[in-house]
Chains A and B, each alone.
Chain A
Amino acid sequence: MLDHILSALQALTANKVRSALTMLGVIIGVLAVTLLVSVGDGARAYIDKTLSGIGTNLLIVQPGRRETRGLGGPPTGNISRPLTMDDVTALKRQGTLLRDVSPIVAGGGAIRFENRQRDSTVFGVGAGFGDLRNMHVDVGSFIREEDLTARRRVAVVGRTVAKALFGNDSPLGRTVRISDGRFRIVGILEKKGTSLGFDLDDLVFIPATTASDLFHQDFLSQILTAARNKAEVQQAILQIEEILARRRNGENEVTVQSQDDLIGVLGTVTSAMTAALLAIASVSLLVGGIGIMNIMLVSVRERTREIGVRRALGATRHDILLQFLIEALVLATVGGLIGLGIGGGLIAAVNSAAPDVPLKLSPWIATIAFGASFAVGIASGVVPARRAAELDPVDALRYE
């Protein structure tokens, strides 16, 4: 076997330019597989990491019953009762499996200070929101429980907002206008950066009750809570549904999503994306394989005389078959290794130059890429090798 590989290498190095050009197709194919799949895989890892970072065992309660199975929302979603602060209170009192509960009232609006203005996302939240979402203040304090009961006009702002309105001055204690209300800034959030395309520093938090007044909306967008521990997530969901159903004549009119559901949904999306990328990359690998087959067919034709001579010297059909099959295999796998090397190098370079770019070369990609180039070698070598083996020795020797 080693003999066959050695003589294949010899035959291939005898025609270096052609061998290199033939390999190029496989190199590009494997490079494409490696890079594209690494992009998909990196995206998945990034999303996993990001979603795990937003909190632990989070549960999101939304108004309206949505079946996770089946398409489209059922009609009950439209006529169900909204979520209210009373629901939050009930969950806090009776939710023994819940860590904390925070209302969320989503809105938007211009925040103005003197003649400066910024359009940010404004959330009405509860005191527990900061701990649930891992968002803490650097300076000052977060929204407190008594801010909600007293419907105080206080705000906690993110770094981007602070910078836009106050430059390098401290915003703490200043008064800004949000919509038509005046709010005193009581806290500044620590820097978070962007995540999944959102600027987490371009946020303003105000008490949920105040937000209801401000946006003239007396129901909540969502309720955010969390299970005490991972094992109890499913029970916690049931408990939430039970507590809220009791307040709605026994009707279950809410949808509770867990953090894992979210990760799962996005996970299937990224898996589908990875599969699609793999399919695209496979096409280029296929083209590389066809390239090898073509060159091998030309090579068999050009080396007809050589095949005849080898047969005269004692080679069997089987020897000739193996010879050309192994040549194709060596071309493909060497090309595959080079492609993998270049791909791995590029990914390593990107990783060290830009650690934020989600690109990841996992061993399974390398294995698949190498396996694929091996398969391409066999597939593209069979036809030329059989043609070579089936040549009649006398015809081959007489070939001009």
Chain B
Amino acid sequence: MATAAPAFAPLAREEHEALIEVSGLERTFMVGDEPLTVLRGIDFTIPRGAYVAIIGPSGSGKSTLMYQLGCLDTPSAGTVRLAGYDVGSLDDAELAALRNRFIGFVFQAFNLLPRTTAVDNVALPLRYAGVGLRERRRRAREALGRVALSHREDHTPERLSGGERQRVAIARAIVTEPALLLCDEPTGNLDQKVGREIVELFERLNDELGVTVIIVTHDPSLARRVRRVIKLVDGRLVHDGPPTADL
């Protein structure tokens, strides 16, 4: 009874050159009776295989933008296109299928299911893709291998270190072989050394698998390692290009 994936259009679409096209994006929340505009007209395009950091002060709308790119939320105005699909025009089941198929999420708080083994955590997205139990486990082990955690397959999150937990979360994000990894402050809960290892893991995945990686971060040293930085201030895009010294 897993969600039937909507009939996604043929290859031509998947090969759509730009993975993400954002134009005139606005997002307004109602806080009580007051409208609060958090994203105020944002435009950018991200090609397949890119490696991008999104930075900006706290409250500037980075997470809100990420939810838009992740098809968890839809624009108040403007459009977000993912692999050619106009996110604003899809219904709940279609958005769910799009997330399941194209996107892997990595959160600051790891967000693993408690008291559930690493394999079962990693296998979870495959359940919503309608993959059978055996195949799910097999692919979950494979993904855990990619993050060098094969020896922790049957551990529950409670018995893993912070860095290991985040690696399990990354394995969960890549197990469906998504085109896009969306990471919201993935190193925020980790110390510097472990954070560095996680970043290197993202770089390798980007390199080896060609997966598009977008990382929201506060960490200037991380931002300096990427080729492209998008900076938000107060809901507006103030910088889009290679990292600069004043970031």
B96 contacts which of A10, A14, A308, A311 (Cβ < 8 Å)? A311
User: Do the beta carbons of A7 and B127 come within 8 Å of each other?
Assistant: yes
Residues of B within 8 A of A313 (CB): 99-100, 105, 124-125, 128, 172
A127 smallest CB distance to B (angstroms): 77
In the complex, what distance in Å separates the CA atom of A315 from the CA atom of B130? 11
In this assembly, does B101 line the interface, its C-beta being within 8 Å of a C-beta of chain A? yes
Interface residue B238 (Cβ < 8 Å from any Cβ of A): no
Q: Contact at A316–B93, with CB atoms within 8 Å?
A: yes
In the complex, which residues of chain A have a beta carbon less than 8 angstroms from the beta carbon of B109?
305
B187, chain A: closest CB distance, angstroms: 18
Check A1 for interface membership: any CB of B closer than 8 A.
yes
Nearest CB on B from A111, distance (A) = 77
Chain B: CB-nearest residue to A2: B133
The closest CB in chain B to the CB of A7 belongs to: B127
Q: Which of A193-201, A275-283, A317-325 contacts B (4 or more CB under 8 A)?
A: A317-325
- Cβ of A383 within 8 Å of any chain B Cβ, yes or no, is no
Cross-chain pair count, CB within 8 angstroms: 78
Q: Is A232 an interface residue (CB 8 A)?
A: no
How far apart are the CA atoms of A21 and B70 in the complex, in Å? 39
Closest to A6 in B: B133
Given contacts A10-B120, A394-B73, A397-B72, is CB(A315)–CB(B96) below 8 Å? Answer: yes
Given the interface pairs A10-B120, A14-B114, the reply to whether A314 lies near B129 with Cβ below 8 Å is yes
Contacts of A308 in B (CB 8 A): 111
A216 to B194, CA, bound (A): 111
For B, the interface residue count at a CB cutoff of 8 angstroms equals: 32
With A309-B111, A313-B172, A318-B3: A394-B72 Cβ-Cβ less than 8 Å: yes
Distance from B186 Cβ to chain A, minimum over Cβ atoms (Å): 14
Chain A residues with CB under 8 A of B73: 393-394
Chain A residues with CB under 8 Å of B67's CB are 394, 397
Most chain B CB within 10 A, of A3, A312, A317, is at: A312
* Chain B contacts for A310, CB-based, 8 A: 124, 128
B3 close to A393 (CB less than 8 A): no
> Which chain B residues border A315 with CB–CB below 8 Å?
3, 96, 128
B-contact 0/1 string along A1-26, CB 8 Å cutoff = 10110110010001100000000000
With A319-B2, A322-B1 as given contacts, are A393 and B111 in contact (CB-CB < 8 Å)?
no
Q: Bound state CA distance, A12 and B176, in angstroms?
A: 26
**What is A's interface to B at a CB cutoff of 8 Å?**
1, 3-4, 6-7, 10, 14-15, 305-306, 308-319, 322, 393-394, 397-398
List, sorted by A's number, 13 A–B pairs whose CB atoms are closer than 8 Å.
Answer: A4-B1, A15-B115, A305-B111, A309-B111, A311-B72, A311-B99, A312-B72, A313-B125, A314-B96, A316-B92, A317-B92, A394-B67, A397-B111
Q: Which 8 pairs between the two chains have the least Cβ-Cβ distance?
A: A314-B100, A314-B128, A14-B115, A313-B125, A316-B96, A309-B111, A393-B72, A316-B3
